Amino acid sequence: MPSTPIHQLRAICLALPEAVEKETWEAPTFRVRDKIFAMVHQVGGQASLWCKAPPGAQTILVEAAPDRFFRPPYVGHKGWIGLWLHPDPDWDEVAALVARSHAMTLPPRLARELGISNPAGKPAARSRRTSPPSRPPKRPTRSASTH
């Protein structure tokens, strides 16, 4: 079977620690602990990669090479980048972008265990679960007493 851009991208993504593939929106998404770090989308009939990028990277890449990079719909406002997978992307560049997105998605503890630092310079994504807010102790209620 001939290798397609999707096959090459799949090999890059699934080589990363704890990466799994899950089809969502009728397209492959690549996740670590159920958080998406890369996905494939057909835009105007062309395959593209969408992945996370550190703050400012989207603007730099899109301005430097608008024929290769774009601001993807739905997630572009969060800094994600889009990269066309046709006609012939630089696969070393694709691997570096995917690895950076993966590192940004890793839970902090797993990143520490793997010795991977977050390329955005901040802690990796945290769970949305938080402990309940602390509440002041209840005031004792006065019982009705007869004097």
Q: Is the pLDDT of residue 137 over 80?
A: no
Residue 54 lies in a domain: yes
Model confidence band, residue 87 (pLDDT cutoffs 50, 70, 90)? confident
Residue 108 lies in a domain: yes
Q: Which 3 state secondary structure label does DSSP give 19?
A: strand
Q: Is the pLDDT of residue 28 over 70?
A: yes
**Angle between the N-to-C axes of helices 91-105 and 5-14, in degrees from 0 to 180, rounded to the nearest 10:** 40
What is the pLDDT, as a whole number, of residue 139? 59
Q: What is the CATH number of the domain that holds 20?
A: 3.90.1150.30
pLDDT digits (tens, 9 = 90+) for 7-25: 999 999 999 999 999 998 8
Please report, rounded to a whole number, the percentage of residues in the chain having pLDDT higher than 70.
Answer: 80
Model confidence band, residue 118 (pLDDT cutoffs 50, 70, 90)? confident
Q: Which 3 state secondary structure label does DSSP give 76?
A: helix
- Torsion angle, alpha carbons of 7, 13, 14, 20, to 10: -110
> In terms of DSSP bridges, do strands 27-32 and 81-84 run parallel, antiparallel, or are they unpaired?
unpaired
Residue 134 lies in a domain: no
- Rounded CA-CA distance 30/51 in Å is 10
pTM: 0.77
- Rounded CA-CA distance 5/91 in Å is 9
CB-based contact 38:101 (threshold 8 Å): yes
Helices (H), the chain: 5-14, 57-64, 91-105, 108-114
Residue 20 lies in a domain: yes
What is the pLDDT, as a whole number, of residue 125? 45
Residue 122 lies in a domain: no
The number of distinct structural domains making up the chain is: 1
What is the pLDDT, as a whole number, of residue 88? 86
- Rounded CA-CA distance 96/111 in Å is 17
Residue 17 lies in a domain: yes
- Residue 5, CB-side half-sphere exposure with 13 Å CA sphere: 18
pLDDT digits (tens, 9 = 90+) for 31-86: 999 999 999 998 888 999 999 999 999 999 999 999 999 999 999 999 999 999 98
For residue 109, give its domain range. Answer: 5-114
Residue 141 lies in a domain: no
